[in-house]
Amino acid sequence: MAEKTEKMLLEQADQYLLPRLEDLDLPLGKRTRLHRLLYEHGPGNGTLLLLPIDHGLEHGPRDFFVNPPSRYPDYQLRLAREGGFSGIVFHIGIAQKYMRNYVGQVPLVLKLNGKTNIPSDEEALSPVEATVEDAVRLGADAVGYTLYVGSPRQDEDLIQLGEVRAECDRYGMPLVVWSYPRGRFVDGGPGRNSLYAVDYAARVASELGADCIKLNFPKFDEEKKEHYPKEYREREWTPEEMMRQVVRSAGKAMVLVSGGSKKSDEDLLEKARIALEAGAAGFLFGRNLWQRPFEDGLAITQRLKELMLRIGA
């Protein structure tokens, strides 16, 4: 009897690994805006393919050197429109200056915080430079917030996130949290992409009200595993199992997987397949899509979307 109940519960829960809009308890504003991202743009089957272009702030113009046209946001906007993305991610200055000609064609996700990578990351904190009200004013369909999970300054970060979350609730604006383990206790410990840290980050964002959570692909680092709690060390993990673990920890929030630095197409698609099969809702791939010639970017986009239509359906 007890076991039956639990089995039933687990099965029921696994229905939500990829949460469906109709199953979520969302206010009308969030529902309307997410509907646009999930069904009116991009793959259109309830998955999300977002094109981020915040690298100019986070890394500097250096990320554009390998493909010079990418330094102009028009490049990514055109890629987003021609490739049929769910939306594009911009900071306010870029959004205000470049979106005009893409209205109705490329939904905007306004990134609210960000910073340069010049100072040390030991006490990382990403300051808010724009507001949810800005996002409303600009017609955005979601906002993005980077949370540095485990940073020594996490208290400031969590308060700041809480304020953004409250404004999102007030305006019915979907909240995408970049949930990134960071800071000296992480980097000097389990590592920012470790299964333990990414899994924790997934749950933290879910507990604090994210609608979507951007995560890095988790890995199990043998050399640092003494920094993992024993619960993670007691067993072996395949990439599939690690991805499924973090998707489960995100609960009813949708998981978006980061691309990180540029990889081979096969690596990228393999990663994408694992993520989708584990229940991820989609991707926030940037450099992997625009650090290459435009037509190549379109081509890999198509392969990704096919995968999303096949597995994410």
Write out the binding residues for a copy of itself, residues 260-279 only, by CB under 8 A: none
Q: Is 34 in the site for a copy of itself (CB under 8 A)?
A: no
| Comparison of 156 and 277: residue with beta carbon closer to a copy of itself | 156
Write out the binding residues for a copy of itself, residues 55-74 only, by CB under 8 A: 56-57, 60-62, 65-66, 68-69, 71-74
How many residues sit close enough to a copy of itself to count as binding (CB under 8 A)? 97
Write out the binding residues for a copy of itself, residues 89-118 only, by CB under 8 A: 91-94, 96-100, 114-116, 118
Shortest distance in whole angstroms from residue 94 CB to a copy of itself: 6
| Comparison of 73 and 279: residue with beta carbon closer to a copy of itself | 73
Write out the binding residues for a copy of itself, residues 3-32 only, by CB under 8 A: 3, 5-6, 9-10, 12-13, 16, 24-25
| Comparison of 84 and 181: residue with beta carbon closer to a copy of itself | 181
| Comparison of 39 and 294: residue with beta carbon closer to a copy of itself | 294
Of 109, 47, 29, 43, nearest to 256 by C-alpha is 47
Write out the binding residues for a copy of itself, residues 116-155 only, by CB under 8 A: 116, 118-120, 125-131, 134, 137, 149-152, 154-155
Shortest distance in whole angstroms from residue 230 CB to a copy of itself: 8
For a copy of itself, what does the binding mask look like between residues 198 and 237, x meaning CB under 8 A? Answer: -xx-xxxxxxxxx------------------x-xx-----
Of 240, 260, 258, 162, nearest to 204 by C-alpha is 162
- What is the token pair recorded at 65? 């050197």
Shortest distance in whole angstroms from residue 43 CB to a copy of itself: 23
What would the 3-class secondary structure string for the chain be? CHHHHHHHHHHHHHCCCCCCHHHCCCCHHHHHHHHHHHHHCCCCCCCEEEEECCHHHHCCHHHHCCCHHHHCHHHHHHHHHHHCCCEEEECHHHHHHHCHHHCCCCCEEEECECCCCCCCCCCCCCCECCCHHHHHHCCCCEEEEEEEECCCCHHHHHHHHHHHHHHHHHHCCCEEEEEEECCHHHHCCCCCCEHHHHHHHHHHHHHCCCCEEEECCCECCHHHHHHCCHHHHCCCCCHHHHHHHHHHHHCCCEEEEECCCCCCHHHHHHHHHHHHHHCCCEEECCHHHHCCCHHHHHHHHHHHHHHHHHHCC
Stretch that binds a copy of itself, among 32-40, 195-203, 279-287, 303-311 (CB under 8 A): 195-203
Q: Is 188 in the site for a copy of itself (CB under 8 A)?
A: no
Residues tagged active-site: 180, 214
Shortest distance in whole angstroms from residue 310 CB to a copy of itself: 26
